[in-house]
């Protein structure tokens, strides 16, 4: 692709534009970096690309605060497929990105009570139909494979034997950023404050410093910042910020083969370094929109819910010690808990991806590739992402994801 050079003001537009790029990406974390990298490596695309990232430290980006795990165990085929590409890319990261992805394929272990057994069965069928390597385990099989775990109240479990686990998501994002920059993408620390629209078409982006950048295509990948920005173009999506806390704990006992365990209550834990990370989504009535600067950890959630639940499931966790904790923000899609990814309905020249509802890091490779294909070719060439089309909201067509962790 060409180096990301700016062009002279374009006299066709009455609004004074300061620069022009073929593609302007707003939000340069996991998803934005993936779009940029996929565009940069497309030999058929010769356009200029600018990525706008308002905070190059990424201190508050979900990408930096995530549990960074990847699974095939979803209830919708499209999500199983998205992670299929994700895992393939992570396995090849060194060759593709020049950096190891730190992938550990430890698997997810979803546990179901009697009440959840049939839903687990239905989800398992969706996953195996898509070729995912997920084992169905009855309680006795669970007990022999995971001897440190209590199967009290467990009717069945599903475990990803391969193709699931955890990885260095922040490192992968940085590697994509570096590689795209080396290939000519321009990265700039700047905040997009408004999408410029003219005659039913996105024409560019206005920045906080007052400048305006003209774009052939605007792509919004701004996480929790996406919905407010899209509203400036008249597009209202039901994506809201929700706080999620992660607790890092140490356990005095070794627990070999520990996967990413999800208790029937929704409490989860997985190995991280010499310890474990764990957490749970708060109940819906205690899960309001979170203020942009509220990153305070909810320690009561650990004391009252996470720890007692884990100690009942894994007796050795009775003696665990919490060492640190942090909070991050999900971009939660209140409509159906799945990402919106694709063309903005009713507006030419505007693409978006947001509303990942807690699974965007693993979906960033496939969604980034899909948006890059739309920008460069006007259609999906590899994986068809149309089930995630933002148009489904106005049409009232939900793509409900039941497995939201
Ligand atoms: C606690 C927690 C645990 C999670 N665990 C997992 C997990 O295990 N697996 C998984 O797949 N996902 C997980 N997620 C979700 C995942 O982290 C996100 O879905 C993913 O990182 C979203 O990436 P993104 O690039 O869309 O958004 P973000 O990472 O939020 O990045 C958006 C970027 O856009 C920038 N930005 C925003 N507005 C503007 C603007 N107006 N102009 C310029 N820049 C702007 C921001 O500064 C930010 O860098 C978790 C999230 C949290 C919070």
Domains (range + CATH), the chain? 1-104+162-238+334-405 (3.50.50.60), 105-161+240-332 (3.30.9.10)
Return the ligand 1 atom nearest residue 246 CA.
1
Helix (H, G, I), strand (E, B) or coil at 76: coil
Q: Nearest residue CA, atom 15 of ligand 1? A: 358
DSSP 8-state assignment for residue 348 = B
> Is 326 near ligand 1, meaning CB less than 6 Å away?
no
Q: Separation of 154 CA from ligand 1 center, angstroms?
A: 33
Q: What is the pLDDT at residue 15? A: 52
Q: Is the CB of 79 under 6 A from ligand 1?
A: no
Q: Is the CB of 360 under 6 A from ligand 1?
A: yes
At residue 9, does pLDDT exceed 80?
no
Q: How far is the CA of 62 from the centre of ligand 1 (A)?
A: 3
- Mean pLDDT to the nearest integer, 396-400: 94
Q: What's the average model confidence in pLDDT over 330-334?
A: 96
Question: pLDDT digits over 276-289, tens only?
Answer: 999 999 998 989 99
> Is the pLDDT score of 4 beyond 80?
no
CB atoms within 10 A of CB 199: 6
Mean pLDDT of the chain: 95
Question: If pLDDT is split at 50, 70 and 90, which confidence band does 16 have?
Answer: confident
Which tokens is 197 given? 């629209």
- Specify the pLDDT at position 10: 47
The pLDDT value recorded for residue 17 is 82
Rounded to an integer, what distance in angstroms lies between the CA atom of residue 218 and that of residue 196? 9
- Decide whether any atom of ligand 1 lies within 6 Å of the 221 Cβ: yes
Mean pLDDT, to the nearest integer, of 104-133?
97
Q: Decide if pLDDT at 403 tops 90.
A: no
Q: How confident is the model at residue 1 (pLDDT cuts 50, 70, 90)?
A: very low
Checking if the pLDDT of 7 tops 80, the result is: no
Percent pLDDT > 90 in the chain is 93
pLDDT band at residue 404 using 50, 70 and 90 as cut-offs: low
- Give the atom of ligand 1 at the shortest distance from the alpha carbon of 357: 19
* Average pLDDT of the segment spanning 335-352: 97
pLDDT at 402: 77
CA of 147 to the centre of ligand 1 (A): 36
Indicate whether residue 81 lines ligand 1 (CB < 6 A): no
Nearest atom (ligand 1) to Cα of 30: 25
* pLDDT above 70 as % of the chain: 96
Contact status, residue 135 vs residue 75, Cβ threshold 8 Å: no
Does residue 5 carry a pLDDT above 50?
Answer: no
Q: Per the structure block, which two tokens stand in for 308?
A: 């007692």
Quote the ligand 1 centre to 38 CA distance (angstroms): 18
- Residue 204 makes CB contacts below 8 A (sequence gap 6+) with 15, 17, 20, 24, 195, 196, 212, 213, 214, 215, 218
Instruction: Work out which ligand 1 atom sits closest to the CA atom of 361.
Output: 11
Task: For 294-305, write each residue's pLDDT tens digit.
Answer: 999 999 999 999
Q: Is 246 in the pocket of ligand 1 (CB under 6 A)?
A: yes
Name every residue whose Cβ is closer than 8 Å to that of residue 321 and which is 6 or more positions away in sequence.
Answer: 249, 250, 251
Which is the closest atom of ligand 1 to the Cα of 229? 41
Tell me the pTM. Answer: 0.96
Give the confidence band of 266 by pLDDT, cuts at 50, 70, 90.
very high
Residue 58 in contact with ligand 1 by CB distance below 6 A: yes
**What mean pLDDT comes out for the span 170-193?**
98
Ligand 1 atom at minimal distance to the Cα of residue 53: 44
Ligand 1 centroid–CA 326 distance in Å is 15
pLDDT digits (tens, 9 = 90+) for 205-262: 999 999 999 999 999 999 999 999 999 999 999 999 999 999 999 999 999 999 999 9
Region 113-125: mean pLDDT is 95
63: pLDDT strictly greater than 50: yes
* Residue 48 confidence (pLDDT) above 70: yes
Residue closest via CA to ligand 1's atom 22 equals 360
């Amino acid at each position: 692709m060409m180096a990301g050079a700016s062009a002279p003001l374009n006299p066709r537009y009455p609004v004074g534009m300061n620069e022009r790029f073929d593609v302007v990406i707003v939000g340069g974390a996991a998803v934005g970096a993936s779009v940029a990298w996929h565009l940069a490596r497309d030999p058929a695309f010769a356009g200029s690309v600018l990525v706008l990232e308002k905070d190059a430290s990424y201190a508050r980006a979900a990408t930096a605060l995530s549990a960074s795990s990847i699974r095939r165990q979803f209830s919708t085929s499209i999500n199983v497929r998205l992670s299929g590409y994700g895992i393939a890319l992570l396995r090849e990261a060194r060759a593709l990105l020049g950096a190891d992805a730190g992938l550990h394929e430890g698997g997810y272990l979803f546990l179901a009570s009697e009440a959840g057994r049939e839903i687990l069965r239905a989800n398992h069928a969706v996953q195996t139909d898509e070729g995912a390597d997920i084992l169905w385990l009855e309680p006795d099989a669970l007990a022999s494979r995971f001897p440190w775990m209590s199967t009290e109240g467990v009717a069945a479990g599903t475990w990803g034997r391969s193709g699931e686990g955890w990885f260095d998501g922040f490192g992968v994002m940085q590697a994509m950023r570096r590689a795209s920059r080396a290939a000519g993408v321009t990265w700039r620390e700047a905040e997009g404050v408004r999408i410029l629209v003219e005659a039913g078409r996105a024409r560019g982006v206005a920045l906080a410093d007052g400048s305006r950048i003209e774009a052939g295509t605007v792509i919004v990948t701004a996480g929790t910042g996406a919905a407010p920005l899209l509203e400036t173009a008249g597009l209202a999506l039901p994506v809201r910020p929700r706080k999620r806390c992660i607790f890092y704990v140490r356990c005095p006992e070794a627990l070999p083969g520990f996967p990413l365990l999800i208790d029937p209550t929704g409490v989860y834990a997985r190995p991280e370094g010499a310890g474990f990370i764990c957490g749970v989504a708060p109940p819906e009535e205690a899960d309001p929109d979170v203020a942009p600067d509220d990153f305070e950890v909810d320690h009561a959630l650990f004391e009252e819910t996470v720890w007692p639940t884990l100690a009942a499931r894994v007796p050795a966790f009775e003696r665990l010690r919490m060492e640190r904790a942090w909070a991050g923000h999900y971009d939660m899609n209140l409509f159906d808990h799945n990402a919106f990814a694709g063309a903005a309905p009713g507006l030419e020249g505007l693409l978006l991806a947001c509303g990942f509802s807690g699974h965007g890091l693993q979906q960033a490779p496939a969604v980034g590739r899909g948006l890059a294909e739309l920008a460069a070719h006007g259609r999906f060439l590899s994986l068809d992402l149309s089930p995630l089309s933002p148009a489904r909201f106005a049409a009232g067509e939900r793509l409900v994801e039941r497995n939201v962790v």
